[in-house]
Structure 1
Amino acid sequence: MDTIRKNKLTAIFAFGSCGGFSGKNIISLFCGDGRNETLSANFHYPFRLSQVPLVEGNTTICNHSVTTTHMMGDSASSAEFFVGIAIVCFLYSMVALLVYLGYMHVYKDSDFGPIFDFVITAILVFLWLVCSSAWAKGLQNVKDATDTDGISGTLALCKGSNITCEVTEFANMRSLNISVVFGYLNMFVWAGNAWFVYKETRWHSQKFSAQSGHGRQQVPAPI
């Protein structure tokens, strides 16, 4: 029961800290004539940055004509994969809790239940490793695209002119960093759960019985 509660909580924290994110960076443009102008980059889950406009419509910035410009990058696949695995694990924990509370006798009396549970749990351990690693890389891509170098590389007027572009206010990405931590934490929690489930399977009981039988072999009496 305690393991199931931990599985649910870590899964909730994982997709909650990632799936609910919304942030804004403020970009300051220091024009050559001493004027300053600002742009805002609003981005959120699932981080399709290529659809986030930095400049909407044709406009004039620092006496330069600028067309519609979007940010660079797309981390949607890794973010959605991460959140999807977290939701699947949460739902599986709910189903497992229902089985343990109402059908524990059926679960223990059959070989299929523990083996099925172990196989699914082992698969989820592997998926947590994959999705957490993918999301860690995706998050780094988001940080690179929204920092000063990323924005300067996206806006044409920041290249080769007397205009200096700099991100002066950054969105707080602490929750996204936490989501990566919870992703790997889920992997370890589910790995521990896999061990406990394995002990319920016939594979473990047969191995234990074989070892016990070997230990009880009688030593022949001396002649």
Structure 2
Amino acid sequence: MMTGFRLNLAPLKEPLGFIKLVEWLTAIFAFGSCGGYSGKNIVSLFCSEGRNETLNATFSYPFRLNLVTLVDGNTTLCNHSVATTHLVGDSASSAEFFVGVAIICFFYAMIALLIYLGYMHVYKDSDFGPMFDFGLTAAIAFLWLVCSSAWAKGLQNVKDAVGTAGIVSTLAICKEGNVTCEVTDFASVRALNVSAVFGFLNLILWAGNAWFVYKETRWHSQKYAAQQGSGPGRGQQVPAPI
């Protein structure tokens, strides 16, 4: 059996190769839109004297908000001394899990494409290749389900923490009767919304891709052969003539 590299672009015209190419691209969008994010909300404090104070609520990947300082210690705001205050929440685990899965998928899809386009003759001549590919593809589809769900929840927690309600519950001065706090300038979270959408899109792609990889395994060929062998007219005894 020849095992050398043979460039063949035909798999890209079939679902097996084309979906892997799409998965490679969607993985880039998933970790790129989440992993490189940084935003800042402007918090306005309306004091009773008619003057305003402003604070910056800055948040970025991996969204360890509890380490972000909203107010430095012994700061005076609206004639009130405010102690050191941090934002509330930590979505680092869900964000890093999401980005980690996306990066793994990026590299695996790239390696799979290399095998499909250059070593398809080896891939189809062995049982191990398709079976390993199917097992890993199914596992990755499950990982996308878990990490996308976790990140969607983590993203909502981030939005809540840096919104007006989250700031008011975090900053003690906002509970004073003569001080009103409100987020007056919101950072765009469109990129984060896009990352969550691409997470669930990847789930659909990898789950669908698992079927096409399964068709390359001997499990599918054996099942198909068994069905053909037990078709109508097969194995039936013909009655002897009278």
- AA in 1 matched with 2:197: V
**CA–CA distance in 1 between the matches of 2:47 and 2:180?**
7
Using the TM superposition, give the Cα deviation of residue 101 of structure 1 relative to its aligned residue in structure 2, in angstroms: 2.0
Question: Is 1:205 matched up with 2:221?
Answer: yes
The correspondence of residues 1-40 of structure 1 with structure 2, limited to 5 A, is 1-40=17-56
Shift of 1:159: 1.1
* Residue 212 of structure 1, CA deviation: 0.8
TM-score (norm: length of structure 2): 0.89
Aligned residues: 223
1:94 aligns with 2:120: no
Q: Give the unaligned 5+ runs of structure 2.
A: 1-16
Residue in structure 2 matched with residue 149 of structure 1 by the alignment: 165
Match of 1:71 among 73, 76, 87: 87
Q: Distance in 1 between matches of 2:235 and 2:169?
A: 79
Correspondence for 2:127? 111
1:217 corresponds to 2:217 = no
Which runs of 5 or more residues in structure 1 are unaligned?
none
Q: Deviations over 1:168-202 (max 9, x none)?
A: 01111111111111101000100111000000001
- 1:42 and 1:220 map into 2 onto residues whose CA distance is 79
CA RMSD of aligned residues (A): 1.1
Within the candidate set 174, 183, 191, 1:175 is matched to 191
TM-fit CA distance, 1:219: 4.3
Other structure's SS at 1:182 match: helix
Distance 2:139 2:57 in 1: 38
1: CA distance between counterparts of 2:210 and 2:238? Answer: 44
Task: Report matched runs for 1:44-55 at 5 Å.
Answer: 44-55=60-71
Identical aligned residues as a percent: 71
